[in-house]
Amino acid sequence: MHAVQFESHGDRDVIAYDEYPEPEPAADEVVVDVEAAALNHLDVWTRRGLPGIDLAFPHVPGSDAAGVVTETGADVERFAVDDHVAVSAGVSCGTCEFCRDGEPTMCVDFHLLGEHVPGVHAERVAVPADNLVPVPDGVDWTVAGSASLVFQTAWRMLVERGEIRPGESVLVLGASGGVGHAAVQIADYVGCEVFATASSDEKLSYAADCGADHTIDYEATDFAEAIREQTGHRGVDVVVDHVGATTWRDSLRSLAKGGRLLTCGATTGGNPETDVNRIFWNQLQVIGSTMASPGEVDDVLSLVWDGTFEPRIREVLPMSEAARGHELLENREGFGKVVLRPDSEL
Ligand code: ZN
């Protein structure tokens, strides 16, 4: 059995695709024969090393995968051999005050498969049954293996936390990335007027394909100025910012009075300069969001399985070329999801 793995934190040269122990399911786990497993920026951060997270090495990265059930633990009733399943990476304790209050993503011990514990970029993986979602027959493996993390993140952020409503204006930054392209599709589906930023004509037309009504090249234009111009100096109701340090102040500048700034990540850094005066005077809200509850995951993935939402596939690579996949993400080459498939499946 082969798995993508690394023996230490570092650059892409630490990534290997080597022998790894065959998974043995615990009573509440299911063994999945992986067909497709997407990369997320999280895999890059995990490889480089995250403050406060001590990994056991070798570490297998990966928070997204889909495949076929080959074995079930003694206590598993929800899945059977040959079922098609997708992984949802969030793990909660089930007993803390937030879990008991129905908010598993706020669990005091919340963690992700692949980030804090072994992940799913492997030929076979043992995954808790609670972390699996059924996939209908006929759904393409690359779609099934790449939708979960970004679509659940965007869905909870926009629909549950941001409470976007039809007719509102929503600006999505970095619209050609994983969460960005999901956010554009969801805001368009809800009936919002969608503004999107990206960094090239190709990525802008791709954002328009996903449902953006207006696109802004953030490298050629001050996007906050462009938003002011395009909204009659009003600003937008909602900004989706998963970029962080380089965009935060301009995100605040782009908001209308009473607007909401939604954040689920900070790929350029987590300690931006902010503008407190603007926040209180304009009565803005800053709303954080992480992953999604099982019910929210079911809601959004059912809309992926029926084709309403579509994870765009940038490239499909054999797992032995996982380092090349990391390079595509780090260099921001192209748009959409980079998907790994076990070499034995190709
Ligand atoms: Zn908990």
Q: How far is the CA of 290 from the centre of ligand 1 (A)?
A: 14
164 and 232 together in one domain: yes
Q: How far is the CA of 93 from the centre of ligand 1 (A)?
A: 4
241 and 193 together in one domain: yes
Ion ligand 1 neighbours (CB, 5 A) are: 92-93, 96, 99, 107
Is the per-residue pLDDT at 334 higher than 90? no
Q: How far is the CA of 46 from the centre of ligand 1 (A)?
A: 23
Is the per-residue pLDDT at 11 higher than 90? yes
User: Is residue 138 in some structural domain?
Assistant: yes
Q: How far is the CA of 193 from the centre of ligand 1 (A)?
A: 36
Percent of the chain beyond pLDDT 70?
100
Q: How far is the CA of 225 from the centre of ligand 1 (A)?
A: 43
143 and 167 together in one domain: no
Characterize the bridge pairing of strands 236-241 and 255-263.
parallel
163 and 279 together in one domain: yes
Q: What is the pLDDT confidence band of residue 197, given thresholds at 50, 70 and 90?
A: very high
192 and 276 together in one domain: yes
156 and 257 together in one domain: yes
Is the per-residue pLDDT at 332 higher than 90? no
Q: Which range, of 12-21, 310-319, 330-339, averages the lowest pLDDT?
A: 330-339
User: Is residue 265 in some structural domain?
Assistant: yes
Q: How far is the CA of 103 from the centre of ligand 1 (A)?
A: 8
Is the per-residue pLDDT at 275 higher than 90? yes
Please state, in angstroms and rounded to a whole number, the distance separating the CA atoms of residues 128 and 78.
11
The mean pLDDT of 316-342, rounded to a whole number, is 94
Q: How far is the CA of 92 from the centre of ligand 1 (A)?
A: 5
Q: How far is the CA of 117 from the centre of ligand 1 (A)?
A: 16
Nearest CA to 152 among 193, 114, 183, 174? 183
20 and 139 together in one domain: yes
244 and 232 together in one domain: yes
pLDDT digits (tens, 9 = 90+) for 70-99: 999 999 999 999 999 999 999 999 999 999
324 and 263 together in one domain: no
Q: What is the pLDDT confidence band of residue 345, given thresholds at 50, 70 and 90?
A: confident
User: Is residue 300 in some structural domain?
Assistant: no
CATH number at residue 224: 3.40.50.720
Is the per-residue pLDDT at 335 higher than 90? no
**Would you tell me how many other CB atoms lie within 10 Å of the CB of residue 246?**
15
Q: How far is the CA of 252 from the centre of ligand 1 (A)?
A: 32
Q: How far is the CA of 110 from the centre of ligand 1 (A)?
A: 7
Compute CA distances 15 → 11, 98, 325, 332, whole Å.
8, 36, 11, 19
CATH number at residue 88: 3.90.180.10
239 and 276 together in one domain: yes
Q: How far is the CA of 101 from the centre of ligand 1 (A)?
A: 9
Is the per-residue pLDDT at 150 higher than 90? yes
Q: How far is the CA of 197 from the centre of ligand 1 (A)?
A: 36
Q: How far is the CA of 140 from the centre of ligand 1 (A)?
A: 33
Q: How far is the CA of 170 from the centre of ligand 1 (A)?
A: 32
Mean pLDDT across the chain, nearest whole number? 96
The mean pLDDT of 132-148, rounded to a whole number, is 98
Dihedral sign, Cα of residue 85, residue 88, residue 89, residue 93? negative
Query: Please, where are the H alpha helices in 69-124?
Result: 97-100
Q: How far is the CA of 108 from the centre of ligand 1 (A)?
A: 5
Is the per-residue pLDDT at 267 higher than 90? no
Q: What is the pLDDT confidence band of residue 51, given thresholds at 50, 70 and 90?
A: confident
User: Is residue 164 in some structural domain?
Assistant: yes
Q: How many domains does the chain have?
A: 2
162 and 284 together in one domain: yes
The mean pLDDT of 179-206, rounded to a whole number, is 96
Print the domain residue range for 138. 2-147+311-345
Q: What is the pLDDT confidence band of residue 254, given thresholds at 50, 70 and 90?
A: very high
Is the per-residue pLDDT at 239 higher than 90? yes
The mean pLDDT of 318-330, rounded to a whole number, is 97
Q: Which range, of 49-53, 104-108, 183-187, 263-267, averages the lowest pLDDT?
A: 49-53
Backbone phi, then psi, for 183, in 5-degree steps?
A: -65, -40
Q: What is the pLDDT confidence band of residue 346, given thresholds at 50, 70 and 90?
A: confident
User: Is residue 302 in some structural domain?
Assistant: no
User: Is residue 142 in some structural domain?
Assistant: yes
179 and 116 together in one domain: no
User: Is residue 295 in some structural domain?
Assistant: no
Determine contact, residues 335/313, Cβ cutoff 8 Å: no
Cis preceding-peptide flag for 58 (omega within 30 of 0): yes
Task: Kindly state the tokens that stand for 237.
Answer: 């109701």
Q: How far is the CA of 212 from the centre of ligand 1 (A)?
A: 37
pLDDT, residue 34, reads 98
